[in-house]
Amino acid sequence: MTHPIEAFASRLRTTLAQTTETLELGGRWPEAIPLEGLIAIMLVVLAAVTVALIAAIPIVLVLMERKVSAYFQDRLGPTRVGPWGVLVTLADGIKLLFKEDLIPPQADKLLFRLAPYVVFGSSFAVVAVLPPFQSTVIGNLQLGLFIYLAVSSLVVLGIIMAGWSSNSKYSLFGALRGAAQIVSYEIPLGLSALMIVMTAGTLNMQHLVMDQVGGIHHWYMFRHPFLFVGAWIYFISAIAEVNRTPFDLPEAESEIVAGFHTEYSGLRFAYFFLAEYANVFVVSGICVALFMGGWSSPIPGFHAIPGIVWFVGKVFVLVFMMMWIRWTVPRVRVDQLMAVCWKYLLPISFVNIIGTGVVVLLEREQLGVEIAGMFIGVGALMWAVAPVMLLILGALAFSGTEPVARRSPAVGG
Amino acid sequence: MAEPTTRALRTDTMVLSMGPQHPSTHGVLRLELKTDGEVVQDAIPHIGYLHRNFEKHAENLTYPQIIPYTDRMDYIAAMNNELGFVLAVEELLARGPRPVEVPEKAEYIRVIVCELNRIASHLLAFGAYGLDIGAFTPFLYAFRDRETILELFEELSGARLLYNYIRVGGVARDFPGGFHHKLRSFLGYFGPQIDVYNTLLSNNKIFLERTAGIGVLGVDECIQNGWTGPNIHGAGLAWDLRKEEPYSIYDRFDFAIPVGKNGDCWDRYMVRMDEMRESVKIATQALDQMEERGLLEDENFTAKVRGTLRPPAGEIYMRTETPRGDLGYYIHSDGSDRPSRVKVRSPCFTALSALRKMSRGLLIADVVAIIGSIDIVMGEIDR
């Protein structure tokens, strides 16, 4: 078995050899390039175009964040940079470009330089598996969901690299908090996604969306209470994954200045900044694709609005909710954060998995129950049970958390 | 800390310097934190970054010249600082041949501006505390309302933050025309706003988790540490100088002293929210009483104080209730126009000195919560 790199190298050599041979024999550009080479060039160009399009996402999201936060805070936000402030991301980017590129003394230079690219790259790479269109997906992989979970985990590596290499205690704090938080919350995230995989039987994102076509009642979120609760657990874990308040400990401004990216300035900081917003978009996009029907229309039979509009619309609803929560709610403490994940979200996720498994089994084996009847019955049950489950989840998540030390012994505690 | 062995990893205490430039130490405070990971083992405050020699300056300035300097100590509640100093000087003068008779209108104006400043100060404490805990929005709401108060002050005294308004014998200027209408409309608007803030932040579950039960200091320890003001009200003791040793005309008003139960951060914070309500009550009563007594048309806003002020030789200690606690002025006069010694007893100084004991064993996030709850202003601590 040839090693894939060797195979690639040999194909490259053959292609180049063929090209030069054709040219020497009097052939002309670009017909000299064999088909393989042309396809390769086309894919590279397509990838570049895709990245450029993806880069538009943080531009919109930064403006959205500034305006949404402003209106929540009874002020206007950017109004002077372009009409209604639309050029503000461009202005921010240009400003950051002009800043001095500072590398702290005694910082680990290689890791310091590499960290933004790791975070940025892994956040942007997973945009490929999002299914925004009915017709095509940039990367329609059979293992789409799995690839998303795997690649988005690389962000932690970048955060730790940034925190460690900055040679600053505050950055280290932020990085360690970030690592603990992201790695912990990936478990409820993955388990909630697992429920979808159990229900659908596939990891292919496009097939998952196609399974939800036909109206809002077909969305996975509304099929049975376990999936409904699972959708919200996914959403909460997603907020923790992208380090947004109430889970923004790695960059908790009032405690550790700016956490793991304290020492970054200029374009390096811009990478972290853009990566955060891309991450917000991606994680909302996956949530929409998994639980809320992706590009399908919620009204059955209504096809006037194209799928991409539905997809982007739903994603922006979720992004708005993330921003709404960020600007309303304070920050949890690190031990409370871990308690919420391990003591509350995780057991409930396990219950959800068991429940989903039971439902899937019942559906498949048709154990004497009409599927339609079960949908009706389960639907009614869902509207009764789900609010109660959510209330219990909320109450449990925040009632039993104990801080490390409430009272110090010196004051009689 | 484990003994270093060939196999086990050795853990060290980390020394982290929080400040003097830090987003949430409420001024230039340096906290030397010795932590084991996130758990604080010791938190040593280092102060002095804002020391401006107020007490030395006061020895070289005449009594009216000192008033702007008193503004600058606790710059957030400047009127209360001025009032304390001016009352001390008036007490000294009362022993001499020419006591100063402050007109009634001036007394009412002093109370109104001091209570408005109390509201402004507690609003800032509320907003900054939310910011420390991670809630960004209450800060902007607080400042929006504080803006109205500052505009009122600007109309009244010419300045937004440091007023030089309360003078020996009265106040510097009278209410401008129509001022009491604006004042009333603000007071009417602000009462319900406190409920909005309570819904947004005070009763938020995450905020409760971050502040309830944290930084508990019982009443006995508070007294031992010399705590006063909202800090000790939070612990449960209703000691307020406006009730215990009423100065100015505070005995004419009907208001309560809100107290907490447990002496934790949430109680101290909530006491400030309730105190704002009481201040609104006091200011409204003052306005009502002014109208009843026909003082709004009265034009006596200050006593006629002729010539240079030369209080008789002697000393006085005068204390008033500022938004931060019991502010004391000790003035020693040698009969000349400048004091020979002015000493200020700062409530924030005593509040900060208990921080070290309170923060042992807590997480760094809790230390931030405690500093916010005791509402310190470095200008007053360092003078």
Query: What CATH number should be reported for the domain holding residue B208?
Result: 1.10.645.10
Region of poorest pLDDT, from A244-253, A298-307, B160-169: A244-253
- On whether residue B375 sits in a domain, the answer given is no
Question: Which chain B residues are Cβ-neighbours of A72 within 8 angstroms?
Answer: 137
Q: Is the pLDDT of residue A44 over 80?
A: yes
- On whether residue A1 sits in a domain, the answer given is no
- The residue-averaged pLDDT of B23-51 equals 84
3-state secondary structure of B269: helix
Calculate the average pLDDT of chain A. 81
Closest by CA to A198, choosing from A393, A380, A349, A389, is A349
- The residue-averaged pLDDT of A286-309 equals 85
Question: What pLDDT was estimated at residue A403?
Answer: 42
A406 and B16 within 8 Å at the Cβ level: the answer is no
- On whether residue A411 sits in a domain, the answer given is no
Asked if A395 and A315 sit in the same domain, the reply is yes
Q: Per the omega criterion (within 30 degrees of 0), is the bond before A30 cis?
A: yes
Asked if A47 and A179 sit in the same domain, the reply is no
Cβ atoms of B324 and B99 closer than 8 Å: no
Provide the domain limits for residue A20.
11-92
Q: Is the pLDDT of residue A386 over 70?
A: no
Question: What pLDDT was estimated at residue B58?
Answer: 92
Q: How confident is the model at residue B342 (pLDDT cuts 50, 70, 90)?
A: very high
Closest by CA to B219, choosing from B259, B269, B255, B256, is B259
Q: Is the pLDDT of residue B103 over 50?
A: yes
Minimal Cβ distance to B204: which of A173, A256, A330? A330
Whole-angstrom distance, CA of residue A265 vs CA of residue A263: 7
Region of poorest pLDDT, from A143-147, A246-250, B85-89: A246-250
- The residue-averaged pLDDT of B51-73 equals 93
- On whether residue B128 sits in a domain, the answer given is yes
Number of domains comprising chain B: 1
Question: What pLDDT was estimated at residue A361?
Answer: 81
- On whether residue B33 sits in a domain, the answer given is no
Domain boundary among A40, A74, A92: A92
Alpha carbon dihedral A90, A77, A72, B276, in 10-degree steps, equals 140
Domain boundary among A72, A92, A112: A92
Higher per-residue pLDDT: B3 or B341? B341
B140 and A75 within 8 Å at the Cβ level: the answer is yes
Asked if A111 and A255 sit in the same domain, the reply is yes
Calculate the average pLDDT of chain B. 89
Provide the domain limits for residue B270.
55-356
Cβ atoms of A269 and A119 closer than 8 Å: no
The two tokens of residue B113 are: 């501006």
> How far from each other are the two terminal CA atoms of chain A, in whole angstroms?
68
- The residue-averaged pLDDT of A123-131 equals 83
Q: Which amino acid is at A339?
A: A
Whole-angstrom distance, CA of residue A53 vs CA of residue A312: 14
Domain boundary among A50, A74, A92: A92
Asked if A103 and A86 sit in the same domain, the reply is no
Asked if A58 and A194 sit in the same domain, the reply is no
Number of domains comprising chain A: 2
- On whether residue A277 sits in a domain, the answer given is yes
- The residue-averaged pLDDT of B120-141 equals 90
Asked if A47 and A141 sit in the same domain, the reply is no
Question: What pLDDT was estimated at residue A12?
Answer: 81
Asked if A179 and A270 sit in the same domain, the reply is yes
Whole-angstrom distance, CA of residue A56 vs CA of residue A54: 5
Q: Per the omega criterion (within 30 degrees of 0), is the bond before B20 cis?
A: yes
Cα-Cα-Cα-Cα dihedral sign, residues A89, A92, A98, A104: negative
- On whether residue A407 sits in a domain, the answer given is no
pTM: 0.84
Asked if A328 and A193 sit in the same domain, the reply is yes
Cβ atoms of B73 and B354 closer than 8 Å: no
Question: What pLDDT was estimated at residue A408?
Answer: 37
Q: How confident is the model at residue B338 (pLDDT cuts 50, 70, 90)?
A: very high
Asked if A103 and A40 sit in the same domain, the reply is no
- CB contacts < 8 Å between A and B, how many? 117
- On whether residue A2 sits in a domain, the answer given is no
Whole-angstrom distance, CA of residue A325 vs CA of residue A242: 13
Region of poorest pLDDT, from A369-383, B146-160, B233-247, B351-365: A369-383
Asked if A195 and A173 sit in the same domain, the reply is yes
Q: Residue A19 has what DSSP assignment?
A: H
Best B18, B29, B209, B371 residue to mutate vs chain A (most A CBs within 10 Å): B209
Asked if A150 and A207 sit in the same domain, the reply is yes
- On whether residue B200 sits in a domain, the answer given is yes
Question: What pLDDT was estimated at residue A402?
Answer: 45
Closest by CA to B113, choosing from B168, B23, B40, B174, is B174
Q: Phi then psi for A222, rounded to 5 degrees?
A: -105, 15
- On whether residue B123 sits in a domain, the answer given is yes
Q: How confident is the model at residue A259 (pLDDT cuts 50, 70, 90)?
A: low
Higher per-residue pLDDT: B113 or A11? B113
Q: Is the pLDDT of residue A120 over 50?
A: yes
Closest by CA to B282, choosing from B252, B258, B243, is B252
Q: Is the pLDDT of residue B4 over 60?
A: no
> Which chain A residue shows the shortest CA-CA distance from B368?
A255
Q: Which residue has the tokens 């995780």?
A: A346
Residue B328, beta-bridge partner list: B319, B345
Region of poorest pLDDT, from A137-141, A255-259, A325-329: A255-259
Exposure on the CB side of residue B141, measured as CA atoms within 13 A: 23
Q: Is the pLDDT of residue A413 over 50?
A: no
Asked if A324 and A262 sit in the same domain, the reply is yes
Question: What pLDDT was estimated at residue B121?
Answer: 94
- On whether residue B27 sits in a domain, the answer given is no
Whole-angstrom distance, CA of residue B22 vs CA of residue B20: 6
> Which chain B residue shows the shortest CA-CA distance from A70?
B137
